[in-house]
Amino acid sequence: MPAKKFFVTTAIDYVNGSPHLGHAYEKTGADALARFHRQRGDDVFFLTGTDENATKNEQEARAQGIPTREFVDRNAAEFKRLCDEWNISYDRFIRTSVDDDHKRGVQEFVRRWIAAGDVYAGTYEGLYCTRCEAFYEEADLVGGRCRFHPDNPDAVQRVKEENYFFRLSKYEAKLKRLFAERPEFTVPEARRNEVLGWFERGLRDISVSRGRSLEWGIPWPGEPRHTVYVWFDALINYVTGVGFGTDDDLFRKWWPCDVHVIGLDISRFHCIYWPAMLLSAGIELPRQVFVHGFLENRGGRLSKSSGNVMDAFAFAGEYGVDGARYLLLREAPFEKSSPISVESFHDRFNADLANGLGNLVSRTTAMIERYFAGRVPDASPAGPSEGAVREAAERALRHHDTAAAQLRFADALTAAFSLVDAANKHYTRTQPWQLAREPSRRGELGAALYAGCEALRLLAYLLWPYLPTTVERIAAQLGAPSPAAARWDEVATWGLLRAGTEVRPGPALFPRLEAPKVA
């Protein structure tokens, strides 16, 4: 039976500044989802990249006195470095100002709008946020300011210019029907309700081009005085990234997208504009838009414009890449906005990773080396405590998979770490160090340590989407198959670790931290 395809995307990031922890958060969540589906046997394509055709890039480059291309290339390289250093397993990193297939695909997409009669020339006069690169109505503002950039009083400006407009209003009835018939199209529920609220005002036609007072952007087909408005150019990357307009076979293989992973500040573009654009172009709609929350620090969201940021590279340097990935997804539930702090990260690292998982690995491998010459002992005779660990493992597998499939990564990790707790409590109950003093109880000792080993083996596979490097070390210490290469249906069953397998202790996976340092 052929593998089921799974196509996941992140939003592509503006390159007008450096990446911060919020960018790492979205990409790590999408990466965990991609790895989860690969591990379960799906054929996965994971698309991410950078959104580079914004006019503010040209403005910023001029302000710095450097060519726009140099400015964009420099910043885009930082976002790619973030993905690579954070072990983000993307299949394509798209760059909208560089990749020729994207430019060709965008122009083909626009030509389809024109052919459908959904584009007309007009004059836009109204409010424009230079930080969001988005047009807003008065009702969208809070105290006259953009609600996503309240610390920037100059972000919202009144503009007037000739544009091409897209007939969004034409698709209002179809979009309402979409949300009525497919409640899972936008999740979580709170984000879906927000989208439904926008229909109450009615949908107005939207500007989809910018006059070429600046030269940066993808030219409008047949009209050299206009560029495709950056937001629509950016949204179209989801189809051009898998061959739209350039590779029909590739496009047929991967589209529709299974999950778009985005932040809540851009949900209108993805949940209303994007499906309308696709309907106009005659392209099947994506299956789901998952809207994650913001990271909040010192009472406000992390953002470049406010300066309220945490450095993603320093964060990974402090906790290690796997530690950083775990902390973000465990401390900040993906489905809602979450307050974070250096102190909470520090405490979670020591409690879960150093004292929990790391300690379980160290004590298990050390006891097997000491009491069984570094070989996995027999599993029998298993007693009630060993049975409790097995039940905890089977429960963790079920609960983890249910949560991970819904992008509830904090819940998925809680389920996985319930097995860590169960294994550590098992040692407290059975006290292998005491059993080792009584030769007549050697069978009990072996069964106790086998249960600990088997819990660790299953944890190595459960935690691979989140701590991919760490669990490879755990599996290697246990002599188990590589989590990256193992077939899930061949490893996710209790009792597969063979007696006599060599176990090799190693250095501490997560040394305890003495004091929080990341700023």
Please give the Cα distance from 416 to 466 (Å, whole number): 11
Residue 136 clears pLDDT 90, i.e. is over it: no
308 to each of 22, 130, 133, 258, 461, how far by Cα in Å? Answer: 11, 19, 20, 33, 36
Q: Which amino acid is at 134?
A: A
CB count, 10 Å around CB of 215? 10
| Count helices and strands in the chain by DSSP H and E runs | 21, 17
| pLDDT for residue 2 | 78
| pLDDT for residue 302 | 60
Please give the Cα distance from 316 to 21 (Å, whole number): 10
User: What is the residue whose two structure tokens read 């929080």?
Assistant: 516
Q: What is the share, in percent, of the chain residues with pLDDT greater than 90?
A: 82
**Band (43; pLDDT cuts 50, 70, 90):** very high
User: What is the residue whose two structure tokens read 């500040």?
Assistant: 265
CB count, 10 Å around CB of 362? 18
Token pair belonging to 513: 């931290």
| pLDDT for residue 214 | 61
Using alpha carbons, select from 447, 333, 347 the residue that is nearest to residue 390.
Answer: 447
pLDDT higher at 161 or 116: 116
| pLDDT for residue 308 | 62
Are the CB atoms for 403 and 415 separated by under 8 Å?
Answer: yes
Local structure of 148: helix, strand or coil: coil
**Average pLDDT of span 23-31:** 98
* H-helix or E-strand spanning residue 59: helix 55-64
pLDDT higher at 178 or 140: 178
Q: Is 445 left (phi over 0), alpha (psi -120 to 50) or beta?
A: alpha
| pLDDT for residue 328 | 97
- Phi, then psi, of 466 in degrees rounded to 5: -110, -40
Please give the Cα distance from 354 to 266 (Å, whole number): 37
Residue 297 clears pLDDT 90, i.e. is over it: no
Residue 221 clears pLDDT 80, i.e. is over it: yes
Using alpha carbons, select from 461, 479, 462, 469 the residue that is nearest to residue 509.
Answer: 469
| pLDDT for residue 225 | 84
* Cα angle value 328/332/335 (rounded, 5°): 120
Q: Please name each of the domains of the chain with its CATH number.
A: 341-491 (1.10.730.10)
CB count, 10 Å around CB of 506? 12
Local structure of 417: helix, strand or coil: helix
Please give the Cα distance from 174 to 275 (Å, whole number): 10
Q: Is 53 left (phi over 0), alpha (psi -120 to 50) or beta?
A: alpha
